Structure 1
Amino acid sequence: MATPGRKRHRPAAGGQRSRRRAAPLCLARLCLAVLAAGLALAGGRAAAAEIRAWDFDTFGRVIVDFGETTGYSVEVASNAVAITFDQPFPEDGVAGLEAASVRLGRFVSGASFSPDRTVLILSTTGPMRVNDFAMGDGIAIDLWRLSRDTPAAAQPAEAAEPEVAEAPEAEQPAAPGDAAGEALAPAATEDAVAEAEPPRDAAGAVALAEA
């Protein structure tokens, strides 16, 4: 028997059916939310930070990938290259630095980050020529060895010293007396020949006398 002053209400049959229909709908929405979260997580992993390296025989390349674009600057010393980033390198990508250093063993003797991970220091095996450029979301650093193994065409040739031609020796001018003697010599010879030959008129006179 119902208590006086209170009314008991029974849910209608239609209300029970709507609740039963709402339960699968909520479950479907929950599954979609979990799937979307999984896809977002997978996308985040695809763009994770990493460090890669290659040895191309003539040069070595290291790529520092932040997973997003970031600014940087490069400083080159005699046996080291320092790359400074505008933001710290993600900690989960630091693990690949050791493998990259080993792969570039002919060019790099060691690699390390600064404590705040904003500077990457590459200790090189000798003087290097460095080229840097952006590659997608990564920063590419190329190391070219500068040593005796470098082809001569790649190194500036030393300027050859110009040869100084020897000046020809100047001929000494003849003395005035010698020049005058040489000029008079032919005349004196002609006079002597004229005196030695008998005059043609005298020879004719002798011939007439004998006759």
Structure 2
Amino acid sequence: MLPTNIAYRTFFVRLAQYGTAFTLDIDGAEYLITAAHLLPAPNDREVPIQIYFNKQWLSGTATVVGRGRGELDIAVLRVATRLTPTGFPVTASMGSVFVGQDVFFVGYPYKMSVDYGEPFAGLPGPFLKKGALSAVTLTEPKVLYVDALNNEGFSGGPLYFFRNNNPQEPYIAGVVSKYRVEPESVLDAEGAATGMTVHYNTGFLVAYDIKHALEFVQRRGGA
């Protein structure tokens, strides 16, 4: 299920890499949330950004409000132009989410999007996936593991759920980061190990608690 409150906040972006981003309104200001690994050099305070809109790339600059270090794969940006119209509220919180429940994520895998026409007001239609929240760590940064096949391009997108299964109450619980990989031995034609390995997608999506994005804004004193 993809409510307009999520759809109108989700964007196909190009920074140092292609990926997904989404907006949040915090204390009256709009912020663009994405995955830190999509950004260029870690010390840049201003970064070039392109956002896909009306079937073309619009170029601009984003201010880095906060960027995770080490494991924490979250970045918070500000751009000069408002991206999401007012009137599409979401709650940025893990709230009442529980292990085992359905969660959703949207984005642009392998640079793909679809055209949903006038209802999307120029935005490229994202792809939607659903999974089950498998585990949440108690250590910091807080990691959410989802039983779902993540793909390249979903990074930076919102991981969300519906409070009490009410589609009118979307909660963004986290920021999609990556998928868990494991090495697998490469065998030769006779089935013997070659000494080489390849990494395969285990089917577990990794996301980080949205609270870390909110903390970046609080440290900067909001808008």
TM-score range relative to shorter protein: under 0.3
Larger Rg: 1
Q: Which has the higher contact order (CA 8 A, sep 6+)?
A: 2
TM-score, normalised by the number of residues in structure 2: 0.22
More helix by share: 1
TM-score, normalised by the number of residues in structure 1: 0.22
